Amino acid sequence: MDSEMNVTAPHRPQFDHQNHVKDDNTHSHVSSERRETMPDTTFGIRFSVSQVCLLLCVLALAGCAASPEKAPEAELNHWSITRSVPSKNAMVTLFDPLDLAHHEGDPEDWYRYDFAFANDLETGRFAAVMSDKPGNFLVRLTSGPLSTYETQAAGPRASMRLRVINHRLLLSGGDAWPSRIQRSRIVSFDPRWIAFENGDYRVIITALDRQKGARHDFVFQLLPVDDILSVSYAPGIPYLVMGEAPGVVGIQAGGLSYREACARVPDTAVWSPLTSSTLPLPGSRATINIAQALHRRGNSLQVSRNNASLPIVVARNPVPGALGLFIQPDSWETDASATNGEVAVSTRVLCAVTIKEVVPGNDDFELRIEPLPGARDPLTVARTRSLNERFENWVRLTSDPAWRYKSAQIQRTVDHRSRLLGIMDYLDLSAKHSESLLQESNGNLANRLLDHMSIDSQQPDH
């Protein structure tokens, strides 16, 4: 218990009086001075006149030659730290989570989208590298050059900006990114903190080939700079793998995509009541509460090794003319717990449907249904621009901490229907309101969303 509560002091590289780096994994041995002694012996030498002349000529010619420059001495005042970094995310990260606290409202994978991290790269809020597979990476951090062995084993490399303002950074395996599921202060007492001098740095990240004798997988060189703007940096998180050219991830990341599958809608399905206040949208992946009896039925199908898919329509009311959402879960958690007679299921919402007929059964309602595909009429460029601008203004004024992420994601969305559904999703509309909007053409839906997001609009959500 004590080890969990105590704050581990950040490791700061220490130096001895001869500038030897003290580190568990790096050792240097440099002699402080070199002495040469001459033999204490005197010889008597006699020269003839011709020998003296010859000697003078040789000395004169030698004086015409330029003396060689003294070889530069190796820089000794450099620190070096080696850490083992386990990572399930195939990455190594170096940052202060407090510097990324503005992402606490973003999805947990926001760092894979350039529209989310572009400003962070520009201002030096993190340094990171991705590999091709998860594992336990041996990483060296240093303020100096690569060693001779590292130079011989060096592979792809990348440069990043980094600004230290709180005298410490966290070296992790990509598990410390702040997001809507993890707060920035959760790692305040993490033992992986490392002490650094405040300031701006050019970070050069180099992948090393272990098969060529390298002791580490990556080297992070942190080189102080006077102006962070002078540092050229990778446009995304570097992807450095031996044998491959350096790359980046997250560049030109796409926006939202709601992919309906209305062709898979059967003629009949069983009803499960919609108990959430909002409506899962067609083409999305959502966690939906379904009746516990239906979950048991799906489990029975799974245990009997038959096709475990179960056609279900989630709707507020099982009446003809009502709108519902068609889902078809095909795998079931055997140990899932129920709350108020419902079990949460993560599944894809395949299509919106219209209920045509209701056939009551012994334990449930069987519904005859008809698919309601989303409209495909295009939006004009002007209408698309208005939607983007109106949504950005609206989400910014709501003080949503993730407004930058959401606004950029809407702007990156190419498909017109997906843009409209994405805005609906972010507006957090009531289920009844969403049911009405889903039956509109794209043009009419755009108009209604623009009205809803109007600053002067006092329209209640209904």
Alpha-carbon distance of 313 to 151, in angstroms, equals 62
Q: What's the whole-number mean pLDDT along residues 108-128? A: 92
Helix axes 442-452, 381-397, angle to 10 degrees: 30
Over the stretch 228-249, which tens digit does the pLDDT of each residue have? Answer: 999 999 999 999 999 999 999 8
Confidence class for position 50, pLDDT limits 50, 70, 90: low
For residue 461, the model assigns a pLDDT of 54
- Domains in the chain, please, with CATH? 80-249 (2.60.34.30), 262-371 (2.30.130), 381-452 (no CATH)
Q: Is 91 helix (H, G, I), strand (E, B) or coil?
A: strand
Contact present, 220 and 158 (Cβ < 8 Å): no
Higher pLDDT, 196 or 333: 196
For residue 402, the model assigns a pLDDT of 84
Alpha-carbon distance of 461 to 430, in angstroms, equals 7
Pairing of strands 342-360, 365-371: antiparallel
- 68 has pLDDT over 70: no
How open is the CA angle 382-385-389, to the nearest 5 degrees? Answer: 140
Over the stretch 272-315, which tens digit does the pLDDT of each residue have? Answer: 999 999 999 999 999 999 999 999 898 888 888 778 899 999 99
Alpha-carbon distance of 446 to 12, in angstroms, equals 57
**Percentage of the chain lying above the pLDDT 90 cut:** 63
**Percentage of the chain lying above the pLDDT 70 cut:** 82
Over the stretch 180-192, which tens digit does the pLDDT of each residue have? Answer: 888 887 777 889 9
Alpha-carbon distance of 362 to 456, in angstroms, equals 51
Confidence class for position 333, pLDDT limits 50, 70, 90: confident
Q: What is the DSSP string of 102-127?
A: GGTTS-TTGGG-HHHHHHHHHHT-EE
Over the stretch 131-158, which tens digit does the pLDDT of each residue have? Answer: 999 999 999 999 999 999 999 999 999 9
Segments of 209-322 assigned E as strands: 218-225, 237-239, 247-249, 268-273, 285-291, 312-315
Please list, in sequence order, all residues whose beta carbon lies within 8 angstroms of the beta carbon of residue 114, skipping any fewer than 6 positions away. 235, 236, 250, 251, 252, 253
